Structure 1
Amino acid sequence: MSRAKKTRRRPAPPPDACGLTVCHGCCCARDGYGRRDAEAVERLDRFRAAAAAVEGTVTVANCLGPCADADVVVVRPSALGRRDGGRPVWLCRVTDVEADLVIAWVEAGGPGAAPMPELLATKVFVPARRHREELEGH
C-alpha cells in the first residue's frame, strides 16, 4: 500500500503583498557566452529581499518566452490589487535601472494598488497567450 506524499504548502501571502516572477532560463540572466550573469543573480537577490520586506513572493521561472527581449520580469498584483483591477504586468529587457523601479513599485503595492513608474511603460509587453496561461496556472 502506498502512502500519499505530503506536500508542504506555503502560507498565503498577505492580501496586500504583490509578487514577482523572474525569468532565469536559457537566455535571461545569461551573459553573451551563455553563462549565468552575475548582475542578474544580484538583481534576483534584490527582488527577493524587496518581496520579503512586504511578505510577497518571488517565483523563478525557467523560461517566460520572449528570449530576444531578455531579461523578463512579471509583476503580479496582490489579492487586493487584483480586486481593484490590477493585472500581471510583463516587462522586458529589465536591467538594474528598471529593477530599482520594479522594487519601488513592489514596495508601494504593485499593480492595482500603486501607479506603475512612468519609465517602466516602455518595457511593458503582451506575452504570447500560452505564456500568460502557464503563469496564471490554466
Structure 2
Amino acid sequence: MTVCRDCCCGSAAKHPGVDHTAQLDGLRAALAPRHRVRTSLCLDVCEQSNVLVVHPARAARRAGARPVWFGLVLAEEIVADVVRWVDAGGPGVAELPATLELSVIPGRAVGSAAIG
C-alpha cells in the first residue's frame, strides 16, 4: 500500500479534523508484517486527498489485477474497511466492498474484481 503524504495529503491545514499521523500509524499497525505500508510524495490527485493506493499481491498482479486508488480517505471507518479488504486479499482476490466503491478515484487503474 502506498499512502500519499505531501502537499495536501496528510495536511493538517487542509484537513484539520484528521489525525494524519495516527491514520498512518494505524494502517501500519493493522497491516504489518503481512503487508508493507509506505509513503509517497504527491500522487497528483490533490483534490482527492487523502489518497492511498492498494497494490495487488504478486500472483494477482500476474493474473491481471491492477492497483486500486482511493481518495478522500479521511474517516476511520474508511481506513478500517480498506484494512479488512486488504486482509481479505485486496485487488484481484477479494471483491471490493460497496462501502469502498465510493472512495475509488475514477480514471485510475482499478483491479477490484476477484480473479478466477
Classify the TM-score, shorter chain.
0.7 to 0.9
Structure 1 position 41, deviation (Å): 1.1
AA aligned to 2:6 is: G
Q: What residue number does 2:96 align with?
A: 116
Structure 1 position 116, deviation (Å): 1.2
Q: Structure 1 residues 31 and 87, CA, compared in 2 at 3 Å: closer, same or farther?
A: same
Q: What residue number does 1:11 align with?
A: none
Q: Is the 8 A contact 1:50 1:106 kept in 2?
A: no
Q: What residue number does 1:10 align with?
A: none
Give unmatched runs, 5+ long, in structure 2.
110-116
Alignment of 1:1-138 (within 5 A): 20-32=1-13, 39-54=19-34, 56-95=35-74, 96-125=76-105, 126-127=107-108
Q: Percentage identity across aligned positions?
A: 37
TM-score (norm 1): 0.69
Structure 1 position 83, deviation (Å): 2.9
Q: Structure 1 residues 38 and 112, CA, compared in 2 at 3 Å: closer, same or farther?
A: same
Structure 1 position 33, deviation (Å): 6.2
Structure whose residues are more often helix by fraction: 1
Displaced runs of 4 or more, over 6 A: none
> Which secondary structure state, in structure 2, belongs to the residue aligned with residue 90 of structure 1?
strand
Q: How far, CA to CA, are the matches of 1:83 and 1:42 in structure 2?
A: 33
Structure 1 position 34, deviation (Å): 8.2
Q: How far, CA to CA, are the matches of 1:62 and 1:69 in structure 2?
A: 14
Give unmatched runs, 5+ long, in structure 1.
1-19, 130-138
* Count of matched residue positions in the alignment of Structure 1 and Structure 2: 107
Structure 1 position 86, deviation (Å): 1.8
RMSD: 2.1
> Which structure has the larger Rg?
1
> Which secondary structure state, in structure 2, belongs to the residue aligned with residue 123 of structure 1?
coil
Q: Is the 8 A contact 2:28 2:36 kept in 1?
A: yes
Q: Is the 8 A contact 1:23 1:71 kept in 2?
A: yes
